[in-house]
Amino acid sequence: MNNIPTVKTGLIAVSRDCFPRQLSERRRAAIKEAAGDAVGYECPITVENEVDAKKAYDDVIVNGVNALIVYLGNFGPETPETLLADWFDGPVMFIAAAEGDGDLIDGRGDAYCGLLNCSYNLGLRNKRAYIPERPVGTAKQLAKEIGKFIPVARALIGLSKLKIFSFGPRPQDFLACNAPIKPLYDLGVAIEENSELDLLVAMNEHENDERIPALAAEMAEELGNNNPYAGILPRLAQYELTVRDWIRDHLGAYEYAAVAAKCWPAFQTQFKMVPCYVNSRLAASGIPAACETDIYGALSEYIGTAISGKPTTLLDINNTVPEYLYSEDIAGRYDYKIDEMFMGFHCGNTCSACLSDPHLSYQLIMKRQLEPDRPEPDITRGTLNGNIKASPATIYRLQSSGDAKLSAYAAEGEFLDVNCRSFGSIGTVAVPEMGRFYRHVLVEKHYPHHTAVMFDRCAGVFFEVCKYLGVDDISYNRPAGVLYPSENPFSF
């Protein structure tokens, strides 16, 4: 992955001056030993006052720290420790020491109490921080919490330096993919909106680019024998070079990129291909490329890429699993009810490493519309078809409403080892209590049909990222017996 940041954490210990300073320093060293490389830098300056805080801040900045861990080795000085969060331009974690490594007279730190004062002062400063579910612990316990902080920090750092490139308005009757961009600015994410025509001009300028043959050969090697439409590869290579060069030339002051591009219906007649396979390759390299100019889909995909360190995809929450397929391939093999599953589909944008049988194909729906009388497809070629491999899964999305308010959802499940007997990049997704989640979250809260997908169980990390960003409405799939606010408690 070359489109996500590398996190270097810095550990600063704080000490209230009426407690033994050595207690905090000894405990800081124990955390560094327990956490290993998860602590990228151990600051030698222990913070007891505001002057110490400034020295420690300067020290971690000089040493390249981009994610800060403030450790209350004892009660901690509430003003200096929260000033660190005020000054530091990046994600900040607060943790505190449990007792047990000394006597309860000279060796008691009272950090359990001190973290309450710390939290109160963070509120006074209106500063957000990452405080884990179990913020007070021993060195070994807190080392595990630091490990959980790293993917949260990676996503937050990435978002602070992310530019989303959009091309074209949403297709007609796809207003579900449209949303105000003001919340992107609130998050610190840049958006560069372009015309589809701008992209076409750039594509034409890449005609006969000397790099096309080598890139087409790379594509052919990736596809192997599953390449019945090899003739389209030069066009696809030309398009990939166009997008990558656009990102290179327009990234400007930002470091990371995501793309949201209009991909039908004029795309096929003017670009003479379907961009799905290229989108899959961009995703594989860590650059999400969302379909149908879904800007918040691209944003969500990027967050998932930064969290998981793996390619993500964007799928339609598309269709139910038919009873015959459930009876033949699922019942007795998996412990899911039929309404706990759906088929996630898109035209062919999921990277080949995530498909069990990836093969280059054409977009069947577009062919019906654009070249129905042509025996062999031409301008509708370029999808990557295949069943999505069995794997863990998190479906999730960060979305703006029409009135520019952010909300989010996440649910964990898995892709089943099932032949979907359909087309496109498609998989059978099982999520506990999916039917209720679909009705009382996705439908009721007006989420679009696109869901981002991480090929791992990462809902907890996504939840923490959204909390840090200030998203108040974060939904999840409630277990059986726990009703949604609007769920009818009476069966009828």
Per-residue pLDDT of the chain (492 residues; tens, 9 = 90+): 689 999 999 999 999 999 999 999 999 999 999 999 999 999 999 999 999 999 999 999 999 999 999 999 999 999 999 999 999 999 999 999 999 999 999 899 999 999 999 999 999 999 999 999 999 999 999 999 999 999 999 999 999 999 999 998 877 777 767 789 999 999 999 999 999 999 999 999 999 999 999 999 999 999 999 999 999 999 999 999 999 999 999 999 999 999 999 988 889 999 999 999 999 999 999 999 999 999 999 999 999 999 999 999 999 999 999 999 999 999 999 999 999 999 999 999 999 999 999 999 999 999 999 999 999 999 999 999 999 999 999 999 999 998 999 999 999 999 999 999 999 999 999 999 999 999 999 999 999 999 999 999 999 999 999 999 999 999 999 999 999 999 999 976
Whether residue 481 is contained in a domain is answered as no
Query: Tokens 């003017």, residue?
Result: 270
Residue 105 lies in a domain: yes
User: Is residue 147 domain-shared with residue 232, that is, in the same domain?
Assistant: no
Distance CA 221, CA 227 (A): 10
CA–CA distance, 86 with 103 (Å, rounded to integer): 34
- 182 and 130, same structural domain? no
Q: Are residues 188 and 327 in the same domain?
A: yes
Other residues' Cβ atoms within 10 Å of the Cβ of residue 356: 13
Total number of domains constituting the chain: 2
> Same domain, yes or no, for 361 and 283?
yes
Q: How far apart are CA 281 and CA 261, in angstroms?
A: 15
Inside any domain, residue 487: no
212 inside domain: yes
pLDDT computed for residue 492 by the predictor? 64
Beta strands 136-137 and 92-97 are parallel
**Residues near 13 by Cβ (< 8 Å), separated by ≥ 6?**
24, 25, 27, 28, 43, 46, 47, 71, 73
- Report the pLDDT value the prediction gives residue 2, as an integer from 0 to 100: 86
Final residue belonging to a domain, choices 135, 159, 183: 159
- We report the CATH number of the domain holding residue 61 as 3.40.50.10940
Nearest to 27 by CA among 77, 78, 97, 132: 97
Claim to verify: residue 148 and residue 171 sit in the same structural domain: no
Inter-residue contact 111 to 74 (CB < 8 Å): yes
In a domain, 482, yes or no: no
Instruction: Specify whether 88 is located in the same domain as 187.
Output: no
Whether the CB-CB separation of 31 and 139 falls below 8 Å is answered with yes
User: Residues with Cβ < 8 Å from 172, sequence gap 6 or more?
Assistant: none
Cα separation, 102 vs 124, in Å, equals: 33
Has residue 2 been placed in a domain?
no
CB neighbour list of residue 68: distance below 8 Å, 6 or more residues apart:
9, 10, 12, 60, 84, 85, 88, 90, 91, 92, 93
Instruction: Identify whether residues 282 and 224 lie together within a single domain.
Output: yes
Same-domain status, 129 and 208: no
Residues 144 and 214 in one domain: no
Inside any domain, residue 95 = yes
3-class DSSP state of 272:
coil
Could you identify the residue written with the tokens 């809260």? 445
Residues 335 and 368 in one domain: yes
Distance CA 7, CA 445 (A): 34
Where are the extended beta strands (E) located within 179-291?
Answer: 190-194, 256-261, 289-290
- Residues 170, 110: one domain? no
Predicted pLDDT of residue 171: 72
Give the 3-state secondary structure of residue 81. helix
**Does one domain contain both 14 and 128?**
yes
3 is a domain residue = no
Q: What pLDDT score was predicted for residue 1?
A: 67
- The whole domain housing 20 covers 9-159
Query: N- to C-terminal Cα distance for the chain?
Result: 51
